[in-house]
Amino acid sequence: MGSIGDEVALEVDETIFVAVAEDVERSKTTVLWAARNFSGKKICLLYVHRPARPASWTHKKLAGGTFRKHAVKVIERVDKHKVDELMDSYLHLLSETQEKKREGNVAREVHRYDKAMHDIGQSKRTVYGEARKEWKEDNSTMEALCKAKALEGLCIKEQSRRRKLEELLEKEKGEVKTVIEQNSGFMKKLQIVQSDNLKLESQIKKLQDLEKEHGDKFDTAMELLKSFRQRRDEIRIDHENAIKEVNALKRLVKGKSVESSGSEMLDNSFMEINEATNEFDPSWKLGEGKYGSVYKGNLQNLQVTVKMLPSYGSQNHFEFERQMEILSRVRHPNLVTIVGTCPESRSLIYQYIPNGSLEDCFSSANNVPALPWESRIRIASEICSALLFLHSNVPCIIHGNLKPSKILLDSNLVTKITDYGISQLIPIDGVDKSDPHVDPHYFVSEEMTLESDIYSFGMILLQLLTRRPLSGVLRDVKCAVENDNISAVLDSSAGDWPVARGKKLANIAIRCCKKNPLNRPDLPIVLRVIDRMKAPELPSSSYTNQKVPRKPPSHYLCPIFQEVMKDPLIAADGFTYEAEAIREWLANGHDTSPMTNLKMEDCNLIPNHALHLAIQDWQNQW
């Protein structure tokens, strides 16, 4: 707050104007109320002072010009003193901290006042007395005006606030109206939903009644189904027993006596297959592929492999049995023997080969040691011999899926090819184009041919030579042959390859993998070339530390004479016999197989050149 008489720049919004009267006690309440309710803001005290009007004075002594001017000055000083004294009282009331300063100002003004009073004397008292009456009247009027002005400002603020409140009220009314309209819409929707709910409840009640009714019917149906299943199982058991009895009677009528070797391929029931595989125990599962799942099993105290063919396919039950009849006559030392079937579940039962596959040797799975080069050439010869036998069969049998995983090795590392003829049982669909063993020409002709098996055989030869991944191996071997550097690609783990034999085997593999099937060699020629390359197999430290036993392999022995065959011949039953023995058997009037006692379709005998060459090589080793 500035001092009296100073011009102070005031911010109207931050300033509170308070009109005061001459009587401090009268305006004290108003000033204290403003200070208490508007703390932090500037307070401006408004006091209206009405000076004396000399023109209205009637005292004759003041009529003179000189004395009149002097009197006016005296009155002005008195008025100023009066105003300062009044303001100091209010300032003292508002700020105790400025009390001493105000008292000093009052003292100085009193001094000036005494001096003036001394000069004017008695005249001053007379003039002051008359003017005081008018001042009191004017002070009351000014105080009322100030209060009116302050009230007017408050009224303006209140009106502005009222307008804002009215605007808010209108806005709230609009929102309330919108809410009411929305509520009305919701109520309509609620009525519709309630109506729909009643309908749904009615429908639910009907559905519950139907469910109860159908539940009763379902329980009745389940009881019937249970009884039907029991009856079906009984009929199935009776049917299987009847089949066994019929088969037994057939054997008795035809005079059959099945030998303990189990060479005859028998039809087995699904229950027998289920029991043999321990109810298809996952731990007995050997593998799974596009041609079905393979399980290890125990059928009639014989370890077997059960291959479950997929259910899809165009062949019916009759076609399946016809194809199985063809495969049942296939017998070769390097083919896994099919010992039974289950037409009911479309399953094949093979003899169990426990020593893994050629793929395990390539990948060194299960710590399988690497094959020496002598064994690799022999295995190539055995694969070629088995393929030639399948292709020479009537009707011709195409393997269609030849790869290292389909070439098993028994305990003597003798080759046993499996899954032959499966392509005739299942339509080939969705062949993997990325499989390097598949003939590329198949994707053009969409037909598996004899040449397709030759291509797959060529890829296996490349793996026997290099033991490398098939991606790019054909290109690498071609470059090595052209550069006369075949040793660079030969697998070192096979031992010291004879370079000449390695190069000759590589040329055969390259010819078998020709893109044009017509340019691929015939298997009889390939077999003769490979057989000439075979050398005595020395015992490998990886397999045994003992000498190779003198005892000949079992498939070198004639089933009749039990001696090493000199002139092996293949009979109509698929078994190979010594020429003298089988001819003598037929000459004695027998038309049945010496191995199975089953009747042979004909008496034709076919030379087994592959086995003859193998026996000669084995004999030359000693």
CA separation for the pair 384, 450 (Å, rounded): 12
Residue 75 shares a structural domain with residue 137: yes
Q: Using an 8 Å Cβ cutoff, are 299 and 307 in contact?
A: no
138 in the same domain as 46: yes
Is there a single domain that holds both residue 407 and residue 533? yes
Q: Report d(CA 336, CA 21) in Å as an integer.
A: 131
Q: Which domain, by its residues, includes 556? A: 551-622
Structure tokens at 417: 């090819």
**What are the structure tokens assigned to 297, written together?**
């099993």
| Dihedral sign (CA 211, 213, 217, 219) | positive
Assigned token pair, 24 = 């401090």
Q: What is the C-alpha to C-alpha distance for residues 73 and 67, in angstroms, rounded to an integer?
A: 10
496 Rama class: left (phi>0) / alpha (psi -120 to 50) / beta: beta
| Pairing assessment for the beta strands 42-46 and 15-19 based on DSSP bridges | parallel
CB atoms within 10 A of CB 108: 12
**Of 609, 170, 198, 160, which Cα lies nearest the Cα of 385?**
609
Q: List own/partner pairs for 140-148 with CB under 8 A and 24 or more apart.
A: 140/21, 141/48, 142/19, 142/47, 142/48, 142/49, 142/50, 143/19, 143/20, 143/21, 143/27, 143/48, 145/19, 145/48, 146/17, 146/18, 146/19, 146/20, 146/46, 146/48, 147/19
Residue 14 CA neighbour count, 13 Å, CB half: 7
Residue 165 belongs to what H/E stretch? helix 122-254
pLDDT in tens, 346-355: 888 888 888 8
Is residue 498 domain-shared with residue 565, that is, in the same domain?
Answer: no
The answer as to whether 192 is a domain residue is no
The domain that contains 596 carries what CATH number? 3.30.40.10
Q: Which of 526, 548, 570 is the last residue of a domain?
A: 548
CATH of the domain at 327: 3.30.200.20
Cα–Cα distance measured from residue 372 to residue 357, given in angstroms and rounded to the nearest whole number: 16
**Phi and psi at residue 347, in whole multiples of 5°?**
-120, 150
Would you mind telling me the total number of residues written for the chain in this entry? Answer: 622
Looking at per-residue pLDDT, the higher value among 139 and 308 belongs to 308
pLDDT: is 230 or 111 the higher one?
230
Kindly state whether residues 60 and 32 are assigned to the same domain. yes
Same domain, 447 and 338: no
The verdict on 345 and 394 lying in the same domain is no
Q: Is residue 37 part of a domain?
A: yes
Q: Specify the number of domains making up the chain.
A: 4
Residue at a domain's end among 496, 525, 548? 548
* Angle in degrees, CA 49, 51, 53, rounded to 5: 150
Q: How far apart are CA 197 and CA 189, in angstroms?
A: 12
d(CA 195, CA 386): 81
504 exposure class (CB count in 10 Å sphere: 0-12, 13-18, 19+): middle
What is the distance between the alpha carbons of residues 47 and 183, in angstroms, rounded to a whole number?
Answer: 61
Q: Do residues 286 and 309 both lie within one domain? A: yes
Per mean pLDDT, which range of 242-251, 305-314, 482-491, 524-533 is the poorest?
A: 242-251
Establish if 215 belongs to a structural domain.
no
Task: Record the tokens describing residue 249, joined without a space.
Answer: 């009677």
Structure tokens at 194: 């309630």
Is residue 285 assigned to a domain?
A: yes
| Mean pLDDT value across the chain | 79
- Does a structural domain hold residue 175? no
Here the tokens at position 180 are 């009411």
C-alpha to C-alpha distance for 579 and 569, rounded to whole angstroms: 6
In a domain, 533, yes or no: yes
Last residue of a domain, one of 150, 169, 192: 150
Instruction: Report residue 458 as tokens.
Output: 């060529």
Over residues 274-301, the mean pLDDT reads 85
pLDDT digits (tens, 9 = 90+) for 220-229: 888 888 888 8
Residues 505, 379 within the same domain = yes
Asked whether the beta carbons of 295 and 286 are under 8 A apart, the reply is yes
Indicate whether 375 and 345 sit together in one domain: no
Q: Quick one: pLDDT at residue 120?
A: 53
pLDDT, tens digit (0-9, with 9 covering 90-100), for 312-355: 554 667 777 788 888 888 888 899 988 888 888 888 888 888 88
The encoded tokens of residue 127 equal 């003039």
Residue type for position 189: K
Give residue 264's pLDDT.
52
Spatial CB neighbours of 367, under 8 Å, sequence gap ≥ 6: none
Question: pLDDT per residue over 501-535, tens digit each?
Answer: 999 999 999 999 999 998 898 898 899 889 888 75
Q: Are 484 and 452 in contact (CB under 8 A)?
A: no
Q: pLDDT category, 104, cuts 50, 70, 90?
A: low
Shared-domain flag, residues 542 and 558: no
Q: Residue 87: inside a domain, yes or no? A: yes
**Within-domain flag for 298:** yes
- In angstroms, the CA 213 to CA 196 distance is 25
How much is the pLDDT for 377? 93
Q: Does residue 491 share a domain with residue 402? A: yes
